[in-house]
Chains A and B, each alone.
Chain A
């Protein structure tokens, strides 16, 4: 099959099988996303980040943990140390590259826990209504009432410092907005005729929630998660900065800024370079999120 016919096959309005229909609608979403150049920039940065994390040992010029006190606090562009070295003489570029792994690890875990919890709570509350709704939503409100970082701090303080606990703490503080959003969407979806129609076929609440409401909530949830990623990275970095997230000598970006803080006036790059990395990745997630919003709109007819 040549490229041209494959494209036509994917863009057809008359799919011939379930798989074909799904692929075709996926392809149309991809085309919408691709036409948004800013989103593609975001996607490119994130793909680069993922590749960096995977191939860190090959790319990194130095071992991120090896200290060399004779060449400490070298400036940017120094020989053998492209982005300079930190206070213990460790290569900042290598630490950034290995730090990508930690950042991705945190992001992936939070993205798995928080939205799923929010989706469950929100759709159940929205569809069931009544006292179930009241109880679930008041719990959500309690979580929402705390400042995010303070609540995360309290959790980490209780559970002990470390990346896993930081992830858990961030997830626990991140799910309530998703629950709210999922509930709001469920309330609109619940009263539509297609839900009434499936109820008239005798479908139970479990089937309606999982098969009919979730697919419609998930797309806006994905968009929201991507947009929130920046905040999650920053929260993780914030915990790292406060010494409650990743522990030294782990090259977590927030912890790197924290270490560089002491030299920020004389040796600005030690704190600035990881700061720029956080900024770039956060921006990439935001750009991609904006693009996904258009591509995942269920009302979009692919026209």
Chain B
């Protein structure tokens, strides 16, 4: 059975100029796999991730035939039940760890709080769990990091702490929204490798939202390519470079390459028919 099934998802924002559709009828399923969603800014990829967790703020509207988490429709849950789902069943890692961690509480306390929220156990055990989690995300001296405040750790470390925190309740699905865009290239792969290892080990489903086609093709099994709120193409991640849709090809070609010299990069010419074509099921 699939972990997540989404049918005909729409995200709408009313504006003065009329209703703006950020996501337009997207359908896909997620098994115990790593699913990548790529697209440019404004393609609706982040909105899709947020809509699953019902994190779209008013006046935004989320509509779908269903968003089924193991057969349970998330759209029918009350806000109270939804809070259980967030964190317990589906966790989310955001782009910048600086804004996701509370700046006035130590890392250790935040990790322990995350653990105690979902388990009733003595504090000593929470402490042990938190230390263990930090070790899991390859932090060398967890004791020191536990006592540190968020501003005292580097960006890569902060993101690893976030991943540790999100994995504490053992969720079924992890949604990672551009988890490494704020990090340096050398740290990026390190963080992704850690996340990848943990997800595989626990048999979780991963939704990896990114603008970086190369990263996605490296760290996912399957990729959805979004354009103007719709899925234009679905393909196997390792076959991404043989993608057929002109948009995907255009994106790949517009990247500067180190192995060949050219004076001008190829530029994507957008065809209006791309946004009119019906969304592909993923």
Hey, which bits of chain A sit against chain B, CB under 8 A?
Answer: 11, 28, 31, 302-303
Contacts and interface: CB of A to CB of B under 8 A. Distances in A.
Interface in B5-51: 15-17
A22 B15 CA distance: 20
Interface string B203-233: 0000000000000000000000000000000
7 contacts: A11-B16, A11-B17, A28-B16, A31-B16, A302-B16, A303-B15, A303-B16
A28 B17 CA distance: 11
A302 B15 CA distance: 9
A3 to B, nearest CB: 16
A4 to B, nearest CB: 14
Interface of B: 15-17
A89 B15 CA distance: 57
B60 to A, nearest CB: 12
Binding site of B, secondary structure by majority: helix, strand, loop or mixed? loop
B58 to A, nearest CB: 14
A303 B16 CA distance: 7
Contacts of A28: 16
Contacts of A302: 16
Contacts of B17: 11
Nearest to A31: B16
Nearest to A13: B17
The 5 closest A-B pairs by CB, nearest first: A303-B15, A11-B16, A31-B16, A11-B17, A302-B16
Nearest to B17: A11
Contacts of A11: 16-17
A302 B17 CA distance: 10
Contacts of A31: 16
A243 to B, nearest CB: 50
B17 to A, nearest CB: 7
B56 to A, nearest CB: 15
Nearest to A302: B16
Contacts of A303: 15-16
Contacts of B16: 11, 28, 31, 302-303
A31 B17 CA distance: 12
A118 B15 CA distance: 37
Nearest to B13: A303
Contacts of B15: 303
A31 B15 CA distance: 12
Nearest to A7: B16
Nearest to B20: A303
B23 to A, nearest CB: 17
A278 to B, nearest CB: 36
A100 B16 CA distance: 38
B117 to A, nearest CB: 34
A75 B15 CA distance: 53
Nearest to A12: B17
Nearest to B15: A303
A205 B15 CA distance: 39
A11 B18 CA distance: 12
A202 to B, nearest CB: 34
A30 to B, nearest CB: 12
A11 B15 CA distance: 12
A28 to B, nearest CB: 8
A11 B17 CA distance: 8
A290 B17 CA distance: 25
A303 B15 CA distance: 6
A303 B59 CA distance: 12
A240 B251 CA distance: 72
A303 B18 CA distance: 10
A270 B15 CA distance: 50
B46 to A, nearest CB: 17
B22 to A, nearest CB: 12
A300 to B, nearest CB: 12
A31 B16 CA distance: 9
A13 to B, nearest CB: 8
A147 B16 CA distance: 46
B18 to A, nearest CB: 11
Nearest to A35: B16
> A11, A28, A303 — which one has the most chain B CB atoms within 10 A of its CB?
A303
A28 B15 CA distance: 12
A98 to B, nearest CB: 43
A150 B16 CA distance: 49
A225 B80 CA distance: 41
Nearest to A301: B15
